[in-house]
Structure 1
Amino acid sequence: MAEKLEKKIEQMVRPIIEDMGCEFWGCEYLPVSGHATLRIYIDKPQGITVDDCAEVSHEVSGILDVEDPISGAYNLEISSPGLDRPLMNPAHFERYKGEMIAVRTLDPIMGRRKFKGPLINITAEGIEMEVDGEVYAIPFEEIDKANLVPQF
């Protein structure tokens, strides 16, 4: 349900966000009882400012009010994906090939659900990453959550 809703919202807001000079990074709907949140991530090569978030929020909330894709009350958050940005689609993984990432899977793969290591390859089916000297192939449909791990 949430995936279909997120795709629908992306189709509504992506053109607006891109017209404002930002990149639509992704969105997630968190339907917590009484406190639902729609979080939309935006980015720019030079980074996002608070003013960027406020301007995008104003424009996006207007279209969401008209289209009304979410029944019930929710909070709209516009945010930068941050240094530990979520990796939400194959293009995100491709962009960060060779970087350190963390992945949590829906089901165990070779006895584990949490992986942290360099992203070494992206295929049509998923990703390959090295963890503790072993290479793990993780299908996209098994990825519950993935994010970049900042290196300082």
Structure 2
Amino acid sequence: MSKKVTQTVEDLVIPILEELGLELVDVEYSKEGKNWFLRVFIDKEKGIDIEECGIVSEKLSEKLDEIDPIPYNYFLEVSSPGAERPLKKEADFLKALGKQVHLKTYEPIDGEKVFEGELTSFDGSTVTITATIKTRKKVLEIPYEKVASARLAVTFN
């Protein structure tokens, strides 16, 4: 059910975002405690502001009220993905080249499942990051199909 809801919401929100020159980052539909939450994360090149989130929320809410695809009461939240933006699509990885990323894999690679470093290359099948391990730089090649989750990583120098 959750997958069907998120797909329906994606189909409804994408035309709204295209009209406003915005991008869909992710849609989440989940139950937390006794409440259901529908979260829509949007962005654009220079970042998103609260006014844009409000406009999208209002327009999406109207569409959701029209077709009523969700049988439960829920809270709709439209927001920026934040500084640690998730990398969901191949295009997200390409935009993140040269930036710090945090990756988790489905299975261990060289005994590890969590990796952090600069995303130096992505060719659609291999994610290459340069990590600093005890003052040494190490290049790690991770098969894209083994990436369980990825996001930008905030670093403090």
State TM-score, norm by structure 1: 0.84
Asked whether the equivalents of residues 109 and 138 of structure 1 are also in contact (C-alpha less than 8 Å), the reply is no
2:149 paired residue among 135, 145, 149 = 145
Query: What is the correspondence of 1:1-152 to structure 2 with a 5 Å cutoff?
Result: 2-3=2-3, 5-131=5-131, 132=133, 133-140=138-145, 142-151=146-155
Shift of 1:2: 4.2
In structure 2, C-alpha distance between the alignment counterparts of 1:88 and 1:145, rounded to whole Å:
8
Deviation digits for residues 43-73 of structure 1 (CA, Å, limit 9, x no counterpart): 1333222111111101011112223333322
In structure 1, C-alpha distance between the alignment counterparts of 2:38 and 2:144, rounded to whole Å:
26
Which has the higher Rg, Structure 1 or Structure 2?
2
In structure 2, C-alpha distance between the alignment counterparts of 1:49 and 1:108, rounded to whole Å:
39
Asked whether the equivalents of residues 26 and 40 of structure 1 are also in contact (C-alpha less than 8 Å), the reply is yes
SS at match of 2:66: helix
Deviation digits for residues 89-126 of structure 1 (CA, Å, limit 9, x no counterpart): 11011011121100122332332221101112212234
**Alignment CA distance shift 1:3-1:136 (3 Å):** farther
Tell me which moved more, 52-61 or 16-25.
Answer: 16-25
Asked whether the equivalents of residues 126 and 142 of structure 2 are also in contact (C-alpha less than 8 Å), the reply is yes
Greater share of strand residues, 1 or 2? 2
Letter in 2 for 1:28: E
**Alignment CA distance shift 1:126-1:13 (3 Å):** farther
Runs of 5+ in structure 2 lacking a partner?
A: none
Identity across the alignment (%):
33
Deviation digits for residues 14-45 of structure 1 (CA, Å, limit 9, x no counterpart): 11122123222222223335222221111133
SS at match of 1:130: strand
Aligned residue pairs total 151
